[in-house]
Structure 1
């Protein structure tokens, strides 16, 4: 969904919240429909069957973003007070861009009032509001809201941290990430939406699960970054908020959406296996992910595959393995990036339809970065451009 990039003055740090792709306003009739009708991924992920086993109850996901609006009907009863790490007016439950609310709804929305059905509808959301770039495209170099939010999440009850944003890595951010992982947190972050093969952070840090996006046609989206992808998840053509007025729904695409779906998938698994550690939850996610159509265990754009929590919840697959060994750090020690995660391989009986096409033909991802928002000028950016200085959907 949303992808907000921030360029910090002087330090040149970019924070991209998930916002890549065309944002197309929905007609009033479409808005009146139950939005779950537009959530195409719920059926192939077998959400209804999974919800018979787990809805994410007992799990809290920290959403580090632009805030999460308390006015969202579908998040009623799901929101914790959170914390505002910015100097903006309002609190953590005031969303100044609309992005954080959209991510939280994808994770834990109840569907109330015809709204978004989150993949983990009984999980709790801890909103942590940070400073992301708006019209001027810059955040002061001294701003430490992102790093501070990670540390707040590390000290909180949240088991999972979702960051549908991206930045150039800093030592302070890396230290905060390491602190959170040391506290047993499982961290997901969007990889980026320029279709390039370079790392954005925090997804590029070795302890963080970098999440790329796949389309309804089971292809890696053309906009989805490669090079630092660990897992992929559905991310294209989702219903989402157009802006912070929460008056219009748009169709959004991006790795922000995908990161939220991966976080929700982890919540479903962890709720069913509360004695597992973050390392064990991630290990079974890697083992049971849908692989590339050519059978590769790992590719730079698909990572270890597309998340399939149903394989764990419904089929009982996945070996949690060593509770203390981070599977991504273990992978780094392997001489081959195609080696399986420690603890076993994915099932061998998957159908061809479960396999993911890695080379997208370009007919699914957004061809341009056309941004349409209430009171915001239309911005047209060539596909693949990396210098967005405005709020972007990812």
Structure 2
């Protein structure tokens, strides 16, 4: 049986504002969300605006851990090793795509953007990764250009499963998969199970069709994968973020910088997608694991689940929009919270069946909580506690109604499937 799929819609180019030219990069201005104008504060020294670093207390966490000693495998369409932010941070990887080029070729900039969000240095106006001390090892798999459709059958070559298997055999402790599709893929599921047996943590993007069809996304739907949804600046589940029983965690995924295209001459600001959320979750795990090198993958994941931010802390089980909550590595690194528990027990093994919490009532002035895709308000940080991550509301203006822009989303890469 032959199947046709299309690559995600890619980055919207109609609503960009060009900002000043910053050597060596041209930064493209942020998109406007609702009544809140998000202007670029980028300079040649500071790089593009990355609001979530302040929100997550990155500077304070970096005094404890930068992710040093941890390697993150990026299973994607390739990773450039020579960008200003990645020089010296990319280890030799493997190209299993059987496409022209090699592992360090990235036709659309997606894989390189993910790598920079994880471990970028921030040099020369580049992206600063949440775990800037970590290393990246790329595994290039088959990918499609925006709008392109291809056929494949059981003779598939270069699929995501092969990239995950190769990553499982590598020294990487963490595997980031910012890819997915609607068709069940037993090969990728088996590959993730194998990676789990090899002691790896696998974070997978949940998908960007939450305000559309919202079909289950694979391999995020694999029990052994950590499926990551997106939240916005107001700490709400993003409308585009796919939801369902398979969601495990959430991370910032709106207004994120990334490469506009594969010629690497521009960053775009104001991009949205669970691709970025998975990368930020992978970086969070790297920060924790670097500080607790004697922990197993199970223990790192367990403390991430225990310390995740969630409005209804008394709810049992996992929410279909944000899973167990939004990643908060600062709770582990700065406050010592989270019980690592049994090193050999996978903490998601007893996840199903799930019980979703009741929606939290909307404060005055905020958008309706029963609006599709934003049914739960979640706390990336709790402003009521001194010294916590930060008050996200202050970043965008108290009481501002924020609408997630569906256009301008990170392309959610469609993988080849059997």
Give the TM-score of the pair, scaled to structure 2. 0.77
Equivalent position of 1:155 in the other structure: 169
1:40 counterpart = 2:40? no
1:28 paired residue number: 20
* Partner secondary structure for residue 60 of structure 2: helix
Q: 1:257 to 1:25 in 2, by over 3 A?
A: farther
- Superposition deviation, residue 90 in structure 1: 1.9
Looking at secondary structure, tell me which structure has more helix per residue. Answer: 1
Could you tell me which of 295, 315, 318 is aligned with 2:338? 318
Structure 2 unaligned regions, length at least 5? 28-41, 358-378, 394-399
Match of 2:236?
A: 219
Aligned partners of 1:155 and 1:105: how far apart in 2?
23
Q: Quote the offset at 1:208 in angstroms.
A: 0.5
Counterpart for residue 33 of structure 2: none
Going from structure 1 to structure 2, the CA distance change for 1:120 and 1:367 (only over 3 Å counts) comes to closer
1:259 paired with 2:270, answer: no
| Pair 1:309-2:329 in alignment | yes
The residue aligned with 1:116 is 127
Q: Given that residues 21 and 366 in structure 1 are in contact (C-alpha distance below 8 angstroms), is that contact kept between their aligned partners in structure 2?
A: no
RMSD (Å) for aligned C-alpha atoms: 3.0
Partner in structure 2 of residue 4 of structure 1: none
- Give secondary structure in 2 for the equivalent of 1:73: coil
Q: Aligned equivalents of 1:87 and 1:52: distance in 2?
A: 42
* SS state at 1:92 partner: coil
- Counterpart in the other structure of 1:376: none
Contact 1:25–1:248 under 8 Å retained in 2: no
C-alpha distance in structure 1 between counterparts of 2:124 and 2:408, whole Å: 31
Q: CA deviation at 1:329?
A: 1.2
Q: Is the 8 A contact 1:15 1:165 kept in 2?
A: no
CA-CA distance at 1:369 after TM superposition: 5.9
1:97 pairs with one of 101, 108, 119: 108
1:364 aligns with one of 403, 410, 414: 403
Q: Evaluate the alpha carbon distance shift between residue 108 and residue 280 of structure 1 in structure 2; reply closer, same or farther with a 3 A threshold.
A: same
SS for the counterpart of 2:72 is: strand
Q: How does 1:234-383 map to 2 (within 5 A)?
A: 234-251=252-269, 252-292=271-311, 296=315, 298-332=318-352, 336=355, 350-351=382-383, 363-368=402-407
Task: For 1:208 and 1:100, locate their aligned partners in 2 and report how far apart those are by CA, in whole Å.
Answer: 19
Q: What do the CA deviations read for 1:274-295 (whole angstroms, capped 9, x no partner)? A: 1111111010001001102686
Distance in 2, Cα, partners of 1:176 & 1:367: 31
Alpha carbons of structure 1 residues 284 and 356: separation in structure 2 relative to 1, 3 Å: farther
Tell me how far 1:70 sits from its aligned partner.
Answer: 1.9
Residues 1:53 and 2:64 are matched in the alignment:
yes
Gapped runs of 5+ residues in structure 1?
1-8, 339-346, 373-387
Task: Report the CA distance between 1:26 and its aligned residue.
Answer: 4.0
1:179 maps to what in 2? 194
Q: TM-score of the superposition, structure 1-length normalised?
A: 0.82
CA contact (8 A) 2:7 2:148 kept: no
CA-CA distance at 1:14 after TM superposition:
7.0
SS, match of residue 327 in structure 1: coil
Offset from partner CA, 1:93-127 (integer Å, 9 cap, x none): 11111100000000000111121000000101010
Aligned residues: 354
Match of 1:191 among 170, 186, 206: 206
Q: C-alpha separation between the residues in 2 aligned to 1:296 and 1:335?
A: 11
Deviation at 1:86, TM superposition (A): 1.5
Partners in 1 of 2:413 and 2:333 — Cα distance?
41
Q: Distance in 2 between matches of 1:209 and 1:162?
A: 10
In 2, are the aligned partners of 1:25 and 1:242 still within 8 Å (CA)? no
CA distance in 2: counterparts of 1:177 and 1:78, whole angstroms: 25
Residues 15 and 242 (structure 1), Cα distance of their counterparts in 2 relative to 1, 3 Å cut = closer
- Structure 1 distance, partners of 2:219, 2:115, is 19
